[in-house]
Amino acid sequence: MKPSYFLLALLLPTQTTGQAQTYVNAIVGTYAMNDMKKFQDDLINQYQKIGIDAKRELGFGSSLQLDLGVDKIISEDRSYTVGGFFNYAVTKGQIGYSDYSGEISAVQDLKRYIVGVKGNHGLSHGFGIYVKAGFSYSTLDLNFLTTLNSPPSKTSQKNSFHSLGFILEPGLNWTYNIKQFFVRVQAGYEVNHQGKTALDTDNNAYLLFNNSNEKVILDWSGARFAFGIGYTIH
């Protein structure tokens, strides 16, 4: 069999069923966020130049994500499924400093939404391989707060940004069926290609590194570990 015909046969089994699966996954994700960490370093340098010894308090660490999806079983032996999913993720960075006179904080709140497709091929003993792909929409809120104790005062500023991107995530999973219900664990690695980070009020203005024309990119790439439950609809 020629390779092209073999690939077609692998991806598009000729036998289909009327069954579908719905599921929800709780996912622990890690994130590269290299540009955002460099952006934090720039902010720290700016604070230190004016005599404020600011430190990194949060550096875009691991967080929980949520997956909601529906898969269509497309083979009689139930080994192939294709479907769609929605994903929601958050992470956060923070810089701060405080002493007797007051405190400052610079918080970077990040959220990400994905709508995509997923394919799964079951192997044996409950194990399988999967691939997810989708379009992502990210938001970034930069929140700055300065509080002085004497005389008491507080000033704040917020700037909001957004970006569009694409993700690809291959991985392995294991599924255990309990009648029409199932539980699943999976592990994969997401590769995220994200576009420029634009100001919400002006799509021609982008988030830049200090004293540079280099644009800051929100990189959500990283490992993914998930536990989920689902239900097979006949």
Given a cut of 50, whether residue 179 has pLDDT beyond it is yes
Say yes or no to pLDDT of 14 above 50: no
Mean pLDDT of 145-161: 94
Whether the pLDDT of residue 68 is over 90: the answer is: yes
> Mean of the pLDDT values across residues 145-170?
95
Least trusted range by pLDDT, from 63-72, 182-191, 208-217: 208-217
Residue 75 pLDDT class (50, 70, 90 cuts):
confident
Arithmetic mean of pLDDT over the chain: 91
Compute the distance between CA of residue 127 and CA of residue 131 in angstroms, rounded to an integer: 14
Task: Give the CATH fold of the 15-233 domain.
Answer: Porin (2.40.160)
Contact 91, 140 (CB under 8 A): no
Q: What are phi and psi of 10, to 5 degrees?
A: -70, -40
pLDDT, tens only, 195-205:
999 999 999 99
Q: How confident is the model at residue 4 (pLDDT cuts 50, 70, 90)?
A: very low
Q: Report the length, in residues, of the chain.
A: 234
Provide the pLDDT for residue 96: 96
- Nearest alpha carbon to residue 65 among 225, 182, 231, 234: 225
User: Which is more confident, 4 or 126?
Assistant: 126
Domain layout of the chain by residue ranges: 15-233
Q: What is the pLDDT of residue 18?
A: 66
Q: Is the pLDDT of residue 149 over 50?
A: yes
State the amino acid at position 152 in one-letter form.
P
The CB-based long-range contact list for 131-134 (8 Å cut-off, 24+ gap) reads 131/168, 131/169, 131/170, 131/171, 132/85, 132/167, 132/168, 132/169, 132/170, 132/171, 132/188, 132/190, 133/166, 133/167, 133/168, 133/169, 134/85, 134/87, 134/166, 134/167
pTM assigned to the model: 0.87
